[in-house]
């Protein structure tokens, strides 16, 4: 019997595995950075599959038809979907990131529902589905990724009833009372149920989804087995927490060039101890609340002034959306206030970088940081926490982790915090800086073993085989 792991694999995602840049008369592929590409490219290569995604928008850089990838070992075919500027505005910045993103992160006050954007979302999802149908056969396994493509499973099922389809939802899935705010919520849920297997990062999201199915539809739900009976088919719903490439991070962190640069960081920032935050600039990441805690920390613990510095990296994101521009301005204002209040000659309390860093640059910061302050207001998983742990070769360092992340359900040796509780976060920072080396090592060894034993490749293999993860490992 053919299992899904054995089938030819077709990935359907919003983000492409490669971007393309023009060098002279040639167009060169550049591999995208991120866990999804790291996890899925080996799987699609091994199965001589295909990858459908939004192609680069610049006419001078984009491929005009399918491309064999990767360039050094062509093993699968990339099929770009080319979006118009209106489609990018309405589908991506509009419905995907001004409706679905805030809704699923409980920021319902940020919703901006426009009928033309809702229609654009359906239309673009249809384009992805139609291209998948053109290149897929009933023997293939089509794996659709994330909230931007929530209607695609149902669209594929409608036209290819015998297809094998998986769907992974990478962001939080909210309570039914919140999700039901979405116009057309029932139809959206039933489109997701076009998949044979639906994955979320943690059991909480599975529970929320199944309750939503039970409340908004009349389909039979078996929460104990994680099953929904939809139009005579059994749909599997489970939790598969995404991870990171532990070995690559661990090995690269051990390079002499990386280690040498990490040692210079304290000298560069004139600090005995370093606290680190690394995020996309997004209102869900809790950067403002984190800065409030840093401000309060220096007020409450003046002995650390001149000795501890906080580094915040905020990678630019969705700057076309007004709420993101407003957040950027407010963060910069608060950083200025803190530095104006506490800075002294030769020492600055907060170093803020609004720019994208290369992975090696982030890795250097991971190695230099005594404390990682990972405090999103809510996050589907959060891979920064797992990257920090994977980089800690000497088994020292302390992870402070928001209990409102998916990662908190796995990384139980981290110091948990409520990101809305400023005083609690201040106490956690103080505790982390006072923690003995022995306790640091005990916690970090356990954390590193968890990630080593469930890395990014275990995640993709487990989903394709249909074997849900154990959260007691």
| Active-site annotation, residues | 170, 379
Rounded CA-CA distance 464/128 in Å is: 21
* Tokens encoding 456: 């990014």
- For residue 330, give every residue at least 6 positions away whose Cβ sits within 8 Å of its Cβ, in sequence order, or none: 288
Tokens of 146: 């994330």
What is the distance between the alpha carbons of residues 103 and 437, in angstroms, rounded to a whole number?
A: 42
Using CA atoms, how far apart are residues 98 and 334, in angstroms rounded to an integer? 25
Q: Using CA atoms, how far apart are residues 258 and 253, in angstroms rounded to an integer?
A: 6
Peptide bond connecting 70 to the previous residue in cis, omega within 30 degrees of 0: yes
Q: Are 386 and 243 in contact (CB under 8 A)?
A: yes
Residue pair 35/242 in contact (Cβ under 8 Å)? The answer is: yes
DSSP result, 42-92: HHHHHTT-EEEEEPPS-TTTS-SS-EEESTTS--EEEEEEPPPHHHIIIII
Which helix (H) or strand (E) segment is 457 a member of?
A: helix 456-465
Rounded Cα–Cα distance for residues 171 and 181 (Å): 17
Answer yes or no: are the C-beta atoms of 422 and 377 closer than 8 Å: no
Helix or strand holding residue 351 (H, E): strand 350-353
Contact 308, 432 (CB under 8 A): no
Residue 263 has which token pair?
């040692």
Q: Please state, in angstroms and rounded to a whole number, the distance separating the CA atoms of residues 299 and 342.
A: 9
DSSP three-state, residue 28 = strand
Q: Mention every residue, 6+ apart, whose C-beta is less than 8 A from residue 268.
A: none
Residue tagged 């074997």 (tokens): 467
Are 461 and 467 a contacting pair, CB within 8 Å? no
- Closest by CA position to 280, among listed 324, 242, 330: 324
Residue 174: name the closest of 144, 216, 145 by CA.
Answer: 216
8 Å CB contact between 171 and 119: no
CA 362 from centroid of its chain's CA atoms: 16
């Amino acid at each position: 019997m053919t299992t899904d792991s054995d089938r030819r694999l077709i990935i359907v995602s919003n983000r492409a595995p490669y971007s393309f840049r023009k060098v002279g008369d040639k167009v060169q592929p550049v591999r995208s950075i991120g866990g999804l590409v790291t996890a899925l490219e080996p799987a699609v290569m091994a199965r001589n599959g295909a990858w459908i995604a939004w192609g680069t928008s610049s006419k001078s850089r984009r491929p005009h038809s399918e491309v064999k990838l990767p360039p050094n070992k062509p093993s699968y075919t990339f099929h770009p979907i080319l979006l118009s500027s209106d489609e990018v505005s309405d589908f991506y910045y509009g419905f995907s990131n001004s409706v679905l993103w805030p809704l699923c992160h409980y920021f319902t006050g940020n919703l901006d529902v426009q009928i033309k954007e809702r229609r654009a979302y359906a239309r673009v999802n249809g384009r992805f589905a139609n291209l998948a149908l053109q290149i897929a056969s009933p023997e293939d396994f089509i794996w659709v990724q994330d909230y931007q493509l929530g209607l695609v499973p149902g669209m594929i099922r409608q036209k290819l009833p015998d297809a094998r389809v998986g769907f992974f939802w990478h962001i939080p899935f909210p309570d039914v009372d919140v999700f039901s705010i979405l116009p057309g919520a029932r139809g959206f849920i039933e489109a997701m149920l076009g998949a044979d297997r639906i994955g979320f990062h943690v059991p909480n999201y599975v529970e929320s989804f199944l309750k939503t199915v039970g409340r908004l539809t009349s389909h039979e739900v078996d929460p104990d087995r994680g099953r929904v009976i939809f139009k005579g088919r059994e749909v599997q719903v489970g939790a598969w927490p995404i991870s990171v490439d532990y070995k690559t991070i661990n090995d690269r962190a051990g390079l002499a060039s990386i280690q040498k640069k990490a040692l210079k960081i304290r000298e560069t920032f004139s600090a005995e101890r370093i606290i680190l935050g690394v995020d996309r600039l997004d209102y869900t990441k809790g950067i403002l609340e984190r800065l409030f805690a840093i401000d309060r920390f220096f007020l409450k613990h003046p002995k650390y002034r001149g000795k501890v510095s906080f580094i915040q990296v905020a990678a630019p994101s969705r700057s076309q959306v007004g709420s993101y521009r407003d957040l950027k301005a407010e963060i910069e204002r608060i950083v200025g206030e803190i530095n104006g209040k506490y800075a002294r000659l030769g020492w600055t309390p907060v170093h803020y970088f609004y720019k994208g860093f290369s992975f090696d640059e982030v890795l250097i910061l991971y190695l230099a940081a005594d404390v990682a302050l990972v405090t999103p207001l809510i996050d589907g998983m959060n891979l920064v926490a797992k990257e920090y742990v994977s980089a800690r070769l000497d088994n020292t360092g302390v992870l402070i982790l928001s209990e409102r992340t998916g990662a908190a359900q796995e990384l139980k040796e981290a110091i948990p915090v409520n990101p809305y509780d400023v005083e609690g976060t201040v106490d956690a920072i103080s505790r982390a800086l006072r923690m003995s080396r022995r306790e640091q090592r005990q916690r970090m060894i356990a954390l590193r073993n968890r990630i080593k034993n469930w890395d990014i490749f275990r995640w993709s293999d487990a989903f394709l085989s249909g074997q849900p993860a154990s959260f007691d490992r």
